[in-house]
Structure 1
């Protein structure tokens, strides 16, 4: 129990001197009640924040989301494939995007998509032999072709390997899509980027939550366009 008290002191309802009272001599459990109240307030505040942020993004980007989805649908109709990529938490989001398009569940139409973040041998070989900045660009150079789609996810918009991959995709005539946060970072200045969706927040958590809404909206609109 001593170890638990050290890790989670707010669970100790005993007051000074061990008299069984709450912190400062209050009733037992008063400290825990205060912590739980803070958690409830924080959770409600975060929920309100992400709802408002998602609404802002969809209001600002609604027309471009529709246009991007139409272009993606046309690419799929012509035999194109979707390649997704990102770093860290965005790498798992990239995998989520690919899984969503490949295995949407009936009656939605499965579409060819691949996350470039899943092959450990390729990622480590390129990182070790060339450099981490090429781990996605080299894969697009090997697999990508005109009419495919490249979708990059980033919270900062400044990841060098994503920018290199978007440039490679642009050179190959692929449809290029970027998701970023704050002001868009360097991604906002990438030449030839077809569509950029920026979440106006500096919180990594809120950015990633809103980006989830963006790519789900893109998926739904693409399905409708098809």
Structure 2
């Protein structure tokens, strides 16, 4: 998505809708033409997603290997994994934690999503402020030797940045997932490894991040000698 289209999305103008879903204003009485537009749009998005995932994985492969080896070492020493994010990234964080804790194969590993407990999130948001909902959980639960994974599309969320700073101060290994240009996650002293998906589309960013997360889990299993 171009910057102009992104601004159009934010302003709610019709041009943005047409850009994302060019078939939406089509003539519904012409079903063949509508199906053609739908098919063309779906194929275009699938091709874009496939290309982005391929290039992202190639670019991130050394970082995935580095992070996977470090996670394996920390898990072997009793470390735990904590994931967190906002909005759609919160569900991605929960999915990643579940992959480690309840894997389809291999050993289950201690992993938790800090977005999963509604009571804790709302209590902290109400009592101390939303910017601290993840940092405060790390203060209560995390130790040196654990791992913190912050998932974002912008890489700029204040609550994630504060949590990463807290994680670093506690001796945790820190990983950031970001899109666009990486935002404030990139080249951040509080982030050991940052996976950047260089796209302007939130949808495509999160699709590639999901694949990175899976490959990270697979690398950890391999490093721990699980085939």
Normalising by the residue count of structure 2, what TM-score does the alignment of the two structures yield? 0.86
Q: Distance in 2 between matches of 1:92 and 1:181?
A: 16
Partner residue of 2:215? 217
Would you say the 8 A contact 1:182–1:202 is kept in 2?
Answer: yes
Q: Distance in 2 between matches of 1:189 and 1:166?
A: 13
Q: What value does the CA root-mean-square deviation take over the aligned residues?
A: 1.4
Would you say the 8 A contact 2:85–2:150 is kept in 1?
Answer: yes
Partner residue of 1:109? 107
Of 53-62 and 186-195, the range deviating more from structure 2? 186-195
Q: Kindly state the Cα deviation for residue 32 of structure 1 after the two structures are TM-superposed.
A: 1.1
Q: Distance in 2 between matches of 1:188 and 1:156?
A: 10
Determine whether 1:60 maps to 2:94.
no
Matching residue within 180, 202, 205 for 2:203: 205
Q: Distance in 1 between matches of 2:116 and 2:85?
A: 11
Q: Distance in 2 between matches of 1:10 and 1:149?
A: 52
Runs of 4+ in 1 over 2 A off after TM superposition: 7-11
Q: Distance in 2 between matches of 1:10 and 1:216?
A: 41
Normalising by the residue count of structure 1, what TM-score does the alignment of the two structures yield? 0.86
Q: Distance in 1 between matches of 2:195 and 2:73?
A: 20
Partner residue of 1:96? 95
Q: Distance in 1 between matches of 2:182 and 2:138?
A: 22
Partner residue of 1:45? 44
Q: Distance in 2 between matches of 1:192 and 1:118?
A: 24
| Bigger Rg, which one | 1
Which structure 1 residue ranges, 5 or more long, are not aligned?
1-6, 14-30
Would you say the 8 A contact 2:79–2:146 is kept in 1?
Answer: yes
The alignment partner of 1:64 has SS state of helix
Q: Kindly state the Cα deviation for residue 10 of structure 1 after the two structures are TM-superposed.
A: 4.4
Would you say the 8 A contact 2:81–2:148 is kept in 1?
Answer: yes
Would you say the 8 A contact 1:66–1:221 is kept in 2?
Answer: yes
Q: Distance in 1 between matches of 2:126 and 2:222?
A: 42
Would you say the 8 A contact 2:26–2:34 is kept in 1?
Answer: no
Q: Kindly state the Cα deviation for residue 190 of structure 1 after the two structures are TM-superposed.
A: 2.4
Would you say the 8 A contact 1:163–1:190 is kept in 2?
Answer: no
Would you say the 8 A contact 1:167–1:190 is kept in 2?
Answer: no
Partner residue of 1:83? 82
Q: Distance in 2 between matches of 1:173 and 1:149?
A: 9
Q: Distance in 2 between matches of 1:212 and 1:83?
A: 16
Question: Equivalent residues in 2 for 1:30-179 (5 A)?
Answer: 31-106=30-105, 108-179=106-177
Would you say the 8 A contact 1:86–1:154 is kept in 2?
Answer: yes
Q: Distance in 1 between matches of 2:59 and 2:206?
A: 17
Which structure 2 residue ranges, 5 or more long, are not aligned?
1-23
RCO comparison, higher one (Cα < 8 Å, 6+): 2
Of 172-181 and 189-198, the range deviating more from structure 2? 189-198
